[in-house]
Amino acid sequence: MAKWTPKHEAPEPLEGPVVATITGGTILWFVLFLVQIPFYNWFSDRDLMWWVWTCLAGGGLGLIGIWYVRGRDAAIKRAKAAEAAEARTAETGAAEAETGAKAAKAGTTAPEPDENGN
C-alpha cells in the first residue's frame, strides 16, 4: 500500500478572537444548563439527565479553556514584544556600528554620547 503524501502544504491556521470565542461558548453552555434546571424532573423521568450534566460539564471545561487561551494569548503577545525589542536593539546596534565605521574611515572618533544618550 502506497504511503499518502500531501500534494501541497497545509495553510497557516486562522487566528481570530480566540478568547472571545471560548468565552462565548462557555457562557452558552452555562445558559443551556440554567435553562434545563426547571425541567430537571422531566429529564429525570425520561432517563435523559445526561443532557443537563453535559451542559454543566461543557461550562466547566469552558472555564479551563478560557484560562488556557488567555495564557496562550499572553504568551504570544510577550513573544511578539520580545521579538520587536530584539529587532529594535539590532537596528540601533547596526546604526551605531555604521556611525563608528564612518568616523574611523574619516580618521576621527565617534562623539561620546551625553547623559541623555544623544
Q: Enumerate residue ranges in the chain where pLDDT < 70.
A: 1-2, 95, 97, 99-115, 117-118
pLDDT at 106: 67
Which residues, 6+ apart, have CB-to-CB distance to 63 below 8 Å?
Answer: 26
Cα separation, 70 vs 19, in Å, equals: 6
φ/ψ of residue 66, rounded to 5: -65, -45
pLDDT confidence of residue 97: 67
d(CA 58, CA 28): 9
Confidence at residue 93, expressed as pLDDT on a 0 to 100 scale: 74
